[in-house]
Amino acid sequence: MTSYRKYFPEVVNMAAVWQQILAQDARYNAYRLPGSPQFRTQYIRRRSQLLRENAKIDHDPIIRKQYLKVRGQILGQRYGTSLSEQGSQRSRSASKCSSRLTLDREEGDFRGHRRYHSSGSGKFSLPSPTEDGLVPTRAAEASRAMVGDKTLDENYAFAGMHHIFDQHSQAVMAVKFANDDKARLACCSLDGTLSVCQVIPEPATVLCVLKGHTSGVTDFSWSLSNDMIVSCSLDGTVRLWQVPTGTCLRVVGDCDGAEIMSCAFQPGCVYSFAFDVGTGKLSRAQRLVVCEGHPITCISARSWMSREARDPSLLINCGANALCLYRVSGVEGSLQLKRKFPIKQRNLRIRSGFCPLMSFRQGACVVSGSEDMSVYFFDVERTNKPVVNKLQGHSAPVIDVSFNYDESLLASADSEGMVIVWKREQRS
């Protein structure tokens, strides 16, 4: 199937322009009626609706770009340089050079040499990305028929806003759809609360707010049956919640009162370590330094459901303006760098993830937040211009992203507490 973009490039350009206009409005949104956040959210929602409707009408893209330029000048004269624009201007000059030096240095390390360890604390250096495929080849036509014969650009054309949630007053650290449920969404915030939302049918609503943590909530996880949520916090506790009633069933505190950054329901097996049943001692199988001196803020694993692409993959945010994709191979779990995608990440706990329905499509996609207030989609098989889509609409760094199971909706959360639910662009 020939790409939609080939025959209708002007439509794609229009969609890109209205996203840029919306992103420009979002950057200045904090200056509009500072005492009325509900109005600001309503304004952005209405602007999104009007711009989407206007994008369907034939207009000269050059006129649209001129409008974008003039509107930027008007907003700048009215409000001055936006806070987000000030930050981006400062970071452009500082990070442009430093990120290039850092990534070039890492490239040198990756090309130089590598060392594998069964134990110990030596530094890992990996070679340049290898070219073995991560996804099934184009010969797997029967498997590809399961998800439709569309290009990645068509499958991940998320452009419209389904709903905007703004119930949290501080940064939303994690956002996740319920398992095999495209209607329910939960998120946790540094304001010390979690919220469970219903996104479909419309209108989207907040079902309940879970209160009990005395400090910021850093992570949470749905149970397999979606009837419980486990959360962790900077207050040093893990809480178990009953979703239908919104009540806290149990509180477990860290023995030293340490801040807890991550939690998950135990599926029944430990896959990351080999351990002695008698002593409980863990034995590390492999050690890898992704980028020395930079924190790893997110690790996602994916096993491919194909006999043509057997090796699992790891997706890692490493805080060095890069999103790294590794291939796990061999009995000992050796890691090979496959791709390195450019994003903006230096200071925040940015997260990423694999797209759910990707094993048999014409390529595979990963999605990540970024400190430049955008959501990025990357094709893991494409070496040149891997960006499939870029969503703009947040007025603050995007911290986390999450698909529902059928990829009809995508949720993104930012450092100011806003959660945007994006819907797939419908094309005939």
Residues 149 and 108 in one domain: yes
Q: Are residues 184 and 286 in the same domain?
A: yes
Same domain, 58 and 107: no
The DSSP H or E segment spanning 391 is strand 387-392
> Same domain for 256 and 176?
yes
Cα(392)–Cα(265) distance, integer angstroms: 33
Quick: pLDDT tens for 219-229: 999 998 999 99
d(CA 69, CA 277): 65
Residue 85 clears pLDDT 70, i.e. is over it:
no
CA dist 207 and 181 (Å) reads 15
Helix, strand, coil % over all residues of the chain, rounded to 5: 25, 30, 45
Q: CB-based contacts of 230: which residues, under 8 Å, 6+ apart?
A: 220, 221, 223, 238, 239, 240, 241, 263, 264, 265
Furthest-apart CA atoms within the chain: distance in Å: 72
Is the confidence at residue 213, as pLDDT, over 90? yes
Highest mean pLDDT among 2-16, 199-213, 348-362, 378-392: 199-213
Last residue of a domain, one of 30, 47, 80: 80
Do 17 and 92 reside in the same domain of the chain? no
> Between residues 427 and 16, which one has the greater pLDDT?
16
Mean per-residue pLDDT for 139-160? 62
Name which residue leads in pLDDT, 240 or 137.
240
Same domain (yes/no): 40, 95: no
Q: Crossing angle, helix 9-27 and helix 83-112, to 10 degrees?
A: 120
Q: Smallest Cα–Cα separation from 171: which of 390, 339, 368, 351?
A: 351
Could you tell me the two tokens for 328?
């796990």
Which band of pLDDT confidence, cut at 50, 70 and 90, is reported for residue 417? very high
The number of folded domains in the chain is 2
Assess contact for 369 and 410: CB atoms under 8 A. no
Residue 167's CATH number: 2.130.10.10
Q: Is the pLDDT reported for residue 106 higher than 50? A: no
Q: What is the pLDDT of residues 328-376, one digit of tens each?
A: 877 667 788 888 899 998 889 999 999 887 645 566 789 999 999 999 9
> Residue 66 sits in which domain range?
1-80
Residues 286 and 320 in one domain: yes
Shared domain for 123 and 202, answered yes or no, is: yes
End-to-end CA distance of the chain: 13
Helix (H, G, I), strand (E, B) or coil at 378: strand
Contact partners, residue 147, CB within 8 Å, separation at least 6: 357, 360, 361
pLDDT of residue 273: 58
Specify whether 74 is located in the same domain as 193: no
Residues 245, 247: Cα–Cα separation, whole Å: 5
- For residues 248 and 392, state if they share a domain: yes
Question: What are the beta bridge partners of residue 299?
Answer: 316
CA of residue 14 relative to chain centroid, distance? 25
Domain boundary among 31, 48, 80: 80
- Mark whether 22 and 91 lie in a shared domain: no
Percent of the chain topping pLDDT 90: 33
- pLDDT greater at residue 81 or residue 179: 179
How far does Cα 267 stand from its chain's mean position? 23
Residues 96 and 202 in one domain: yes
- Residue ending a domain, among 35, 61, 80, is 80
- So what's the pLDDT on residue 296? 84
